[in-house]
Amino acid sequence: MLKTLACCMVCSMIASTVVLAHHSYADYNRDRKLSIEGTIDQLTLGNPHAILTVRTDEGTVFTAEWGSAVQLNRTGVVAGMLAVGDRVIVTGSPWREPSIHRLSLIIEIVRPRDGWRWSREAGVGVRPRQS
């Protein structure tokens, strides 16, 4: 009985460590949306989140947390769709502290040169070109 209790306690501690490792979105202003335009400096499609590093024309570097690789794949995103050097417009929730240039809860990414678009609701698509 004592061994079973000890085993349960150890398993509970391990499980709670995994749960605590994931962050909340409390540091992001979910009531505000911010769109940034710039060039992708880095792109990692991985877990727990895909990460885009975007440099604006003013030289400000933003880090944008996208979804996980599995979530993005379900919405049609595959490796090679976006690349370092692509100019994009990323819209999401900004960090509550304005001096920290981070976005999360991404709702849309647009590549203006060809109309490529990803949105949380619709997945991957192409916007019609505007005349």
Confidence of residue 120 (pLDDT cuts 50, 70, 90): confident
> Percent of the chain, pLDDT > 90?
45
**CA contacts within 13 A on the Cβ side of 39:** 6
Question: For residues 110 and 98, is the Cβ–Cβ distance under 8 A?
Answer: no
Look at residue 18 in the predicted model and tell me its pLDDT. Answer: 41
Virtual CA dihedral for 96, 82, 38, 27, nearest 10 degrees? 0
Of 2-16, 33-47, 97-111, 113-127, which gets the smallest average pLDDT? 2-16
- How wide is the angle at C-alpha 125 spanned by C-alphas 65 and 60, nearest 5°? 35
Look at residue 126 in the predicted model and tell me its pLDDT. Answer: 65
Confidence of residue 20 (pLDDT cuts 50, 70, 90): very low
Instruction: Give how far Cα 64 sits from Cα of 31, 75, 110, 112, 130, Å.
Output: 17, 18, 14, 18, 27
Average pLDDT of the segment spanning 72-82: 90
Residue 48 has pLDDT above 90, yes or no: no
Question: What is 25-126's CATH topology?
Answer: OB fold (Dihydrolipoamide Acetyltransferase, E2P) (2.40.50)
Domains of the chain, by residue range, sit at: 25-126
d(CA 82, CA 28): 25
DSSP annotation of 83 reads -
- How wide is the angle at C-alpha 119 spanned by C-alphas 59 and 113, nearest 5°? 55
61 Cα distance to chain centroid? 15
